[in-house]
Each structure stands twice: as structure tokens, then as C-alpha cells.
Amino acid sequence: MEIGIIGLGAMGREIARNLVAAGHTVTAWNRAGGNVEGVRMVESPAQALQADMVLTMLSDDAAIRSVLLDANLLCQARPGLVHVVASTISVAFARELVEIHGAAGVGYVAAPVLGRPDVAARGELNVLAAGASTALEKVKPALEVISKRVWYMGEEPPMAYAAKIACNMMIAMAIEAMAEAVVLTETNGLSRERFFELILGTLFGSRPYQTYSGNIIRNEYQPGFKASLGLKDLRLASEAAEQAGRALPMLAAVHVRMAETVDAGMGDRDWSAIAALTVDPYALDA
């Protein structure tokens, strides 16, 4: 399959490598330049649209609008192209993209992913896919290469982004829950290591608890998923809740906490750094 990729950040690069390794022909454009072995780099995003499918891994709604929509590039795409949007975008923007792709005659599949760059490197992402069945069938071979499992969310692309935003909201809540639990236990003499051994072995053994408890134990928050991106996703969740006319108090709390983390100069650290404001506000690692 001929595959275009737009956006070669930490995730996009690993996805590109795996697609090349699987025998696909990959062409890519990246705003910051760079290269990936086996990938043909092109000078404009329009060139990446001359493929069977194009996968965009851009940071947010504004980036997709700036790169693709403002220049009306979808109207220059190869006939039959399916556009796979793997970024985490707002539900409202996803609805807008449905209309725009329909008018341009371009297939549209939502495919936000669960997983960090190390998971992407192993080809073990969880892909939350939604779109028309014909478009999904066309891009399924590529999605299977980059994933441990493709989860079908429905025929309407906004469904997939609602699911992804909800997942990230819950992870942020889990991080803050661990931090607050450490305050209760550590101030009463119980070490973080012993407490997390308890909860990982009993009530909370899921991947977010396994991954982020280690960061809290070490008080180290080296970038995996940046706090600035976590703040963006919590903003998207807050907007979706507002559009639904519902108040989500736990979401409101972690949204404020993530904003405080970014305001404290930790936007480029892992988003689990929100725990530092609760547990070690004066002892952040250098």
C-alpha cells in the first residue's frame, strides 16, 4: 500500500518505521523536516496526499486546519484517498471534518491511539477506529501493523475522539488519585514503594497505575506524554462536557491541576508531573 504521513513527531516517526518494515511504501511531510530510514520525504503536505491513504499525526485541531484545510489541500488528493486522523482532536472539529471530507470526496477514518512512543515503536498501540466500513476496510492492513488491536468505535468519526478524550481524562484522574493517596500514606510513615506494591498487587493493577506509580516513587517526570498535550486533551474533554450540558467535577479538578503544572514550567515534562504539585511541590527533580 502507498501511505502518506503528515507529522513525524515522536509517535509519527515510530509509526512510519513500522509501516516501512511491513513492506508499505511510505511518503512523509513534516513541518520541522527530518527523515526516517526507508521513508521518502517530500516538500509539501499535498505530495503526501497522492497515496492510497494518508495518516496525519499533528498536534491539535489548529495544526490540522493550518496544514490541510486553510490551503484546501484535500481537493488536491488522489482519487480514492482515505484520510486517517490519528491525532487527538475535539469532537466538534471531528464533526466539521466529516462535512469537509464529504465535500472533497475523500474518505475519513478517525483513529486516535492509546500508547506512548515506546509502545508505538513495538507496534502495540491500541487504535480507536471509527468511520465508514468501506474506508475502514481499505486502511485496516496499515492500522493492524501499528497496533496490538484495532477497536471499532462506530461509523461516526466523532465517537472515536470522544472515547480517546475520555480515556485520557481517566488516566489524569488516576495519576492525581495516586498522588493524593501518597499524601495520606507517606505522612503517616508508609513508604511510596510499599504502598504502591499493595495497590498494584490488589486493587489497581492496570497499565496507567503501573506506569505512573514508578514516576511518583522516583519523583522523576521525564517526557513520555507531555503535560502540555495532557492539558490540551483535558481542555477538549471540558469542551465536550460543556457541549453536552453536563458538569463533570472530577474533570474540572484535574483540568485545573494540569494547568497549574504547565504554568509551573513543567509543560515539557511527562503529564504525570501533576502528581509533583500534590506530593512534592518543593522537591521537583532537576
Q: Is 60 helix (H, G, I), strand (E, B) or coil?
A: coil
CA distance 269 to 64: 24
Q: Give the orientation angle of helix 91-104 with respect to helix 157-186, to 10 degrees.
A: 160
Q: Is 147 helix (H, G, I), strand (E, B) or coil?
A: strand
- Catalytic residue chosen out of the listed positions 138, 140, 148, 164: 164
Cell of 232: 490540551
Residues constituting the chain = 286
Q: Among this protein's residues, is 164 annotated catalytic?
A: yes
Q: What is the CA radius of gyration of the chain?
A: 20
**Are 282 and 268 a contacting pair, CB within 8 Å?**
no
Q: Is 96 helix (H, G, I), strand (E, B) or coil?
A: helix
Cell of 6: 503528515
Alpha-carbon distance values, 176 to 163, 182, 197, 203, 256 (Å): 20, 10, 18, 16, 11
CA distance 16 to 27: 9
Catalytic residues: 164
